[in-house]
Amino acid sequence: MEHKWLWTFTGTLFTPKGAYIQDDPEIRKEMPYMEESDLINRLENNDPAVRFVPFGYKTKEMSSYDFAKNKYVIGLAGEEGAEKLAEVADKYNDWPYLWCYKSVSKSVTKVSLLGADWFKGRKLYVGNLDHEFVKFACAFGKTK
């Protein structure tokens, strides 16, 4: 993470209603392919690979405590994962940073990432970017 971001195999579909988060989504054209109607159906069927977080969560810089309680971070990593990310964030000189949308007027899909800023105050970043930044990133995941 010192020189590149760490991408995950988690996609987020931001809609005007909020963020749909899906583990290991189908990939088309180097990006997660996610349809809101399919995600709603999967949520109704209690699919643990899909979560929904309504807008209203805090973004940008925040305390580690607020980061661990942030609904979007919990949607990405689960409660235990959010707490562990906050513990990692405490190792940095500056507060963690959530880099994602607070609202959108039309749907947009992004890939989740974990990164560290070693040049500006040393902080932990969690957020979403698109395939334009792939050349700057690393990723891990599972094989089928």
Phi and psi (nearest 5°) for 76?
A: -75, -45
Say whether pLDDT at 104 is over 90: yes
Residue 144 lies in a domain: no
Does a structural domain hold residue 29?
yes
Phi and psi at 40, nearest 5°, equal -60, -45
- Residue 17 in domain: yes
* 134: in domain: yes
Q: Which residue range is the domain that position 110 belongs to?
A: 5-139
C-alpha to C-alpha distances, 19 to 7, 138, 141, nearest whole angstrom? 18, 24, 21
Above 80 in pLDDT, residue 50?
yes
Name every residue whose Cβ is closer than 8 Å to that of residue 16 and which is 6 or more positions away in sequence.
103, 104, 105, 106, 107
pLDDT at residue 99 in the model: 83
What's the whole-model pTM score?
Answer: 0.81
In a domain, 109, yes or no: yes
Q: How many domains does the chain have?
A: 1
The answer as to whether 60 is a domain residue is yes
Question: Considering the domain boundaries, does residue 35 fall inside one?
Answer: yes
- Whether 86 is in a domain gets the answer yes
pLDDT surpassing 80 at residue 117: no
Smallest CA-to-CA distance from 94 within 68, 58, 61 is with: 61
- Give the chain's mean pLDDT: 80
